[in-house]
Amino acid sequence: MLKDWFGKSKYVTVKISGKLNKKNHKNEDGRLWTKCPGCKEIIFNKKLLENLMVCPKCNYHIRLSARDRLQITVDENSFNEFGEDLKTNDVIEFPGYKNKLDEAIMKTGLKEAVLTGEATIDNYPVVIAIMDFNFMGGSMGTVAGEKITLAIEKAIEEKKPLIIFSAAGGARMQEGTLSLMQMAKTSAAIKKLNKKGILYISVLTDPTSGGVTASFASLGDIIMSEPGALIAFAGPRVIKQTISTKLPEGFQRAEFLLEHGMIDLVSPRHEMRGNLARLLKMHNIEVTRNAQ
Amino acid sequence: MPSNILEFEKPLIELEEKIKELQSFMEEKDLDLSNEIERLKKRALNLQKEIYANLEPEQIIKIARHPKRPTSLYYIQKIFDDFIELHGDRKFGDDKALIGGIAMFEGLPVTVIGHQKGRSTKENIKRNFGMAHPEGYRKALRLMKQADKFNRPIISFINTTGAYPGIGAEERGQAEAIAVNLMEMSDLKVPIIVVVIGEGGSGGALGIGLGDEILAFEYSYYSVSSPEACAAILWKDADRAAEAARALKITATDLLEYGIIERIIKEPIGGAHKNPEKAASILKKELLNSINEFKKLSVNELLKKRHLKFRQIGNQGKKVKTRRYKNLEVLK
């Protein structure tokens, strides 16, 4: 009965976001505290980690590494990585690229700017790709594009929903026009996914711009973002240079995009995992049995 | 120096001026210097050949950006028997930086789209210097879907510095417009032939650039970012643009080597702007060849080929081929 549906007062209950556990609370420079990039307050790392790296004073969402994002998003011990051995060559022999790559690998422990695998979220099976801005600005070169495409194809193959967390400066300059073409490659793969009726949720995190915004990241059935995330095609600095006028307040932030109809919802970090689970449920995704 | 004089042609221009001087001197004094003039003319031709055989990428960019370089509309008028421009995206407006319509090509109806630059300052302002807004990309998609419906091949001319970086463009979803074009173009059931006629500036170029065949004029370029922006971002020094132009591998020759384009279209000596008519007739021949080749393919074959082409991009070419196989092994 229709009446019964309206009579229900409770929404689906889901677990809140996972915890962010770290062996120690020290920053790279050995400090136990962090200055919030938003309000400039000094916050103890322990407090920040408990709060999923969201400033308890001003709600600023500090950027997360791909591994940290994974930890707070998927069920414990559910992640099965694929494509982890893929590593890019210096395809066009770009000056200084090899060193930059080595630095990025050292810094992040990743081989590329995107982490891909299968996992469950509140027992719903998903294929997940998470970009890491610490890896050369999350830029998409041939291998990042390849891994995103592999994730899309895995979702098609396994008939599992696809979730991509984007964080990127755009296409990677050090791999020239081949990087640009990854926009075409990934977007074409999304077309195939759509034809198969597979759900794709795109989550834009701070910052997502350039060729990543202008390809798969903008093609989700549902597009979510974290509060305050910068989402752009051309970055604010480029626009400022071109038009030499002041940019509007909050320009290119998640709330601005919501206002202009470019994204579906802005979800605070604490609610992200819950929102993903709710959406998965609404798409009749079957819960994995024997889940822990 | 006016911007339509190419700096690397300076010795050639000096020589040509000397020939002119000699000619008027000969007429004035009633002397026969024709042997000397012939000799100099030959020297000029050789010099031109030599200059154009050894162009650096940053010099090619200068030709690609030459204010007199033939535009999309020029080629459209020269190549097709009839053309009706169609306007608007049906959502917001009509972008004059990205034009399109239906044309007759040797008796065959085709849909044509292309970036349009201006030739004068006034026209360039109208055309926004060939930098399109989201409505331009959406108009292009509307026309391409129309082509799909009526089974017309699509010919797309690329000539843009990039998609316009402005407030309105961002508000109306520049990124989304380009992304949707890429997604939809990958699956249109008609042949798409893309020609880079001048500047292939990043996502703004690619937004109408996913095709079955990508051709590039000899002195065009196609890049992930403008060399100026690349130098400014990577090296914090916009003056190192020439170095970036070389590093980014953006010339037609490079693009062919990396499997991004299928063919290079030869230009008249000195570039397309020196002899636009000839450039147009060379282009027409190339397009005719392509269209005739595509006629032989079924829709399934066409789409299969297109999907494979973009699926492999960056994984093919002699430098990366081995890695592709390695990838596959790793994935097993």
**C-alpha distance from residue B112 to each of A115, B59, B86, B115, B164 (Å):** 40, 29, 10, 11, 21
Residues 6+ apart with CB under 8 A from B33: B22, B25, B26
Tell me if A233 and B179 make a contact (CB, 8 A cut-off).
no
Q: Which of A180, A252, A259 to mutate to test the interface with B (most CBs of B within 10 A)?
A: A180
Predicted confidence at residue B254, as pLDDT, reads 95
**Predicted pLDDT of residue B2:** 52
Q: Where are the alpha helices (DSSP H) in B193-275?
A: 202-206, 227-235, 241-247, 252-257
To the nearest 5 percent, what fractions of chain A are helix, strand and coil? 40, 20, 45
Q: How far is A97 from chain B (nearest CA, A)?
A: 11
Before A207, cis peptide (omega within 30)? yes
For residues B225-237, b (16+ Cβ closer than 10 Å) or e, as one string?
Answer: bbbbbbbbbbbee
pLDDT value for B3: 64
Find chain A residues with C-beta within 8 A of B179's C-beta.
Answer: 183, 187, 213-219
Which residues on A lie below 8 Å from B200 (Cβ)? 177
Query: Most B CBs within 10 Å: which of A99, A142, A179, A187, as the mutation test of the B interface?
Result: A187
Pick from A65, A236, A219: which is nearest to B177 by CA?
A219
Structure confidence at residue B317 (pLDDT): 37
**Residue ranges in chain A modelled with pLDDT below 70:** 1-18, 289-292
Give the pTM: 0.92
CATH of B62-296, one of 3.30.56.10, 2.40.110.10, 3.90.226.10, 3.20.20.80: 3.90.226.10
Å between A231 CA and nearest CA of chain B: 10
β A200-208/A42-44 pair status: unpaired
Which residue of chain B has the CA closest to A176?
Answer: B248
Determine the pLDDT at residue A241.
84
Which residues lie closer than 8 Å to B55 by C-beta, 6 or more apart? Answer: B8, B63, B219
Q: Which two tokens stand for residue A219?
A: 């093609």
Nearest to B196, CA basis, from A176, A177, A146, A94? A177
Alpha-carbon gap: A84 to the closest alpha carbon of chain B (Å): 9
* Chain A nearest C-alpha distance from B328 (Å): 10
Whether B170 sits inside 8 A of A234 (CB atoms) is: yes
Checking DSSP bridges between strand A42-44 and strand A33-35, what pairing results, if any? antiparallel
Q: Which of B230, B323, B331 sits opposite A173 (nearest CB)?
A: B230
* Chain A residues whose beta carbon lies within 8 Å of the beta carbon of residue B320: 89, 91, 142
Q: Which of A85, A86, A184 sits opposite B206 (nearest CB)?
A: A184
ipTM: 0.93
Domain boundaries, chain B: 7-54, 62-296
Neighbours of B297 (CB within 10 A): 14
Q: Which residue of B has its CA nearest to A258?
A: B171
Q: Which residues of A touch B210 (CB under 8 A)?
A: 184, 187-188
- C-alpha B201/C-alpha A280 separation (Å) is 39
Q: Which of the residues in chain B have pLDDT under 70?
A: 1-3, 316-332
Comparing CB atoms, the residue among A185, A216, A232 nearest residue B313 is A185
Which residues in chain B are contacts of A183 at CB distance < 8 A? 178-179, 182, 203, 206
Radius of gyration of chain A (CA): 19
Q: Give me the total of CB pairs closer than 8 Å, taking one residue from chain A and one from chain B.
A: 185
> B186 to chain A: nearest residue by CA?
A188
Task: Name the residue with tokens 């005719």.
Answer: B288
CA-CA distance, B185 to B253, in Å (whole number)?
Answer: 25
CATH assignment of A64-282, among 3.90.226.10, 2.60.120.380, 3.40.462.40, 3.10.450.50: 3.90.226.10
